[in-house]
A and B are shown apart, each in its own frame.
Chain A
């Protein structure tokens, strides 16, 4: 597709379960980002992939969070042993590279931990 695709759009999970969120970036975009947004607030940076470089994981809030990007394309964000405070909208974005390019965001995955 022409845009960034995220799935699922909504996910309800029980506390303690693991979840996987998927992001399909725009073809040809070498940079991919994950952000988290709570209750219509600003975006909190989680992790950044750029080409074949080591990812910038500086925003991951705990070791329960991890992400991978396979073949320089699709990315999966995994949250293990989910907690209620993990409830948020998880947004993925891609861009042409690491320069002053704008980000193209997906519509997000709304995660609710009950």
Chain B
């Protein structure tokens, strides 16, 4: 059972364009994280959001946690080829539990 749905599954866009990746669930999470993974490597943490409605910015990346803490989005402005990778959202039901990963969005940025 996939508890965290990510969309789109695949996205290929031109360098300089903007994009948004979505992470949705019917469950409430105490916190949500976003990771980026490159081929042959483990995922690398980008951000943790813990408060409903929270918005965090990391350079050209903007992360938002839904008011009800059931969904999140990642927006990239002026995408660059270095943004290419597999983006994974991951939710935690409570502070004492492990995190559950979404199915991932594979992003490709064309020069």
Complex-state Cα separation, A7 to B106, whole angstroms:
27
By a CB distance below 8 angstroms, the chain B residues around A98 are 95-97
Instruction: Select from chain B the residue with minimum beta-carbon distance to A102.
Output: B45
Complex-state Cα separation, A40 to B101, whole angstroms:
13
Say which residue of A4, A42, A102 sits within 8 Å of B101 (CB atoms): A42
Complex-state Cα separation, A104 to B43, whole angstroms:
8
By a CB distance below 8 angstroms, the chain A residues around B90 are 43
Q: How far is the CB of A55 from chain B (nearest CB, A)?
A: 11
B98 close to A40 (CB less than 8 A):
no
Instruction: Select from chain A the residue with minimum beta-carbon distance to B46.
Output: A102
Say which residue of B31, B45, B95, B97 sits within 8 Å of A103 (CB atoms): B45
A21 close to chain B: CB less than 8 A: no
Instruction: Select from chain A the residue with minimum beta-carbon distance to B33.
Output: A102
B40 close to chain A: CB less than 8 A: yes
Chain A residue total in the interface (Cβ 8 A): 23
Complex-state Cα separation, A40 to B103, whole angstroms:
9
By a CB distance below 8 angstroms, the chain A residues around B99 are 103
State which residues 36-94 of A face B: CB under 8 Å: 40-45, 48, 56, 91, 93
A25 close to chain B: CB less than 8 A: no
Complex-state Cα separation, A4 to B100, whole angstroms:
20
Residue of A4, A40, A43, A99 with most chain B CB atoms under a 10 A cut-off: A43
Question: Interface readout for B99-111 with A: 1 if CB under 8 Å, 0 if not?
Answer: 1111110100000
Residues of B within 8 A of A (CB): 2, 4, 6, 30-31, 33, 35, 40-45, 48, 50, 86, 88, 90, 92, 95-104, 106
